Amino acid sequence: MELTPRLLEQFVVLAEEQHFGHAARRLSMSQPPLSQAIQRLERGLGVLLLERTSRGVRLTAAGAAFAADAGRLLEAQQAAVARVRRMARGVEGTVRLGYVSSLGYWHLPRLLAVAARELPGIRLEVRQRGSAELAEQVRQGAVDLALVRLPVGDLAELEVREVAEERTVLALPLGHPLAGGDPVPLARLRDEEFVTAAPPAMARIRALIDDACRQAGFELRTRAQAEDLTSMLGYTAAGVCLCFVPERVAELGHPMVRFVPLDGGDRLVTTIAALSRPAGGDPAVATLLELMERLRPEIEGPAADTRDSGGHQPSGEAPSGSAVRVRRGASVE
């Protein structure tokens, strides 16, 4: 005897109605086939499930226990079917999300908040790595989606969606002569010492700054290296040296550091991109990418307001978010 979902459903409905006629109407069938199905079930189990009376049926102790278990089996089956359909639609599942450290202060938290609100069925597992390592992990399937700063060397076999832009600003200790709030020309920094991110962290920002400094006629003077932005700002807060940081870090503020824009900051813009495997992979990844595009303004937040703690307002606005651009299978170095 095969315990099919239909047979279990027939018995559960009969157990609820305790009347063949009423149960048959609920099941959209006639009474004789229902009676025959229940008899086959009892013979197959070798157990009396019902006591027949002139007014209907009454469950035996074994019948009541079987009805409860059968109901749970049907609920589990329905839940499994519903879940697999939600996963196929991309509204449930697990996405392994990688990100570079400089995006962990603003963009990642906002993305996590939006995803939790809009896609509660999708669980995000986050991990922080360097851009090149994340690109390779996406390509190998160890990570489903990665947030990086372009360019990232070899992007063959990957889909690249540009999802945000961010300027670079200057962080100075309180009382520094350049901490008045006005945009600082790079040439004014030729005699300053800096703390920089230890490779591979913030590699794209460092490359932009190095190139801009050379164009301004000098080489950046590095006094120290740090593994993360918190440590870099620690050096600056102590008055040891200056540092360059993404503008969104300035939004978070620091009681011992002032952030000012750089003159010609339009040249010091990094592009934030999402890396994934081409279409046809996990539907949850496609859904998350669609969410990032649809709610890009919320994830990016309002135009960055790079103020120092003295309340100075820099000139200009952050680059406005353009439509998401998609690239496939090529380096963008």
Question: Radius of gyration of the chain from Cα atoms?
Answer: 31
DSSP letter for 184, please: B
Pairing of strands 159-173, 257-260: antiparallel
With a pLDDT cut of 70, the percent of the chain lying above it is 89
Through-space distance between the first and last CA atoms of the chain, rounded to whole angstroms:
65
- Asked if residue 24 has pLDDT above 80, the reply is yes
pLDDT for residue 280 = 61
Give the DSSP H or E segment for 95: strand 93-99
Pairing of strands 159-173, 243-246: antiparallel
- Asked if residue 8 has pLDDT above 50, the reply is yes
Give the DSSP H or E segment for 204: helix 203-215
pLDDT for residue 268 = 87
Rounded CA-CA distance 265/317 in Å is: 10
Are 125 and 244 spatial neighbours (Cβ–Cβ below 8 Å)? no
- Asked if residue 319 has pLDDT above 60, the reply is no
Q: Identify the band that residue 204 occupies on the pLDDT scale cut at 50, 70 and 90.
A: confident
Write the pLDDT tens digit of every residue in 27-51: 999 999 999 999 999 999 999 999 9
pLDDT for residue 265 = 65
- Asked if residue 287 has pLDDT above 50, the reply is yes
Are 187 and 215 spatial neighbours (Cβ–Cβ below 8 Å)? no
Structure tokens at 291: 């969410």
> What DSSP string describes 233-267?
HHHHHTTS-BEEEEHHHHHH--TTEEEEPBTTGGG
- Asked if residue 299 has pLDDT above 60, the reply is yes
Q: Could you tell me how far CA 217 lies from the centroid of its own chain?
A: 41
Q: What is the mean pLDDT of the chain?
A: 86
Mean pLDDT confidence for 230-236: 93
Quickly list H helices, 3-160.
5-17, 20-26, 31-45, 61-89, 107-118, 131-140
Structure tokens at 281: 């992979």
Mean pLDDT confidence for 97-103: 91
- Asked if residue 80 has pLDDT above 50, the reply is yes
Specify the pTM.
Answer: 0.70
Q: Could you tell me how far CA 63 lies from the centroid of its own chain?
A: 48
**Residues forming a β-bridge with 165:** 271
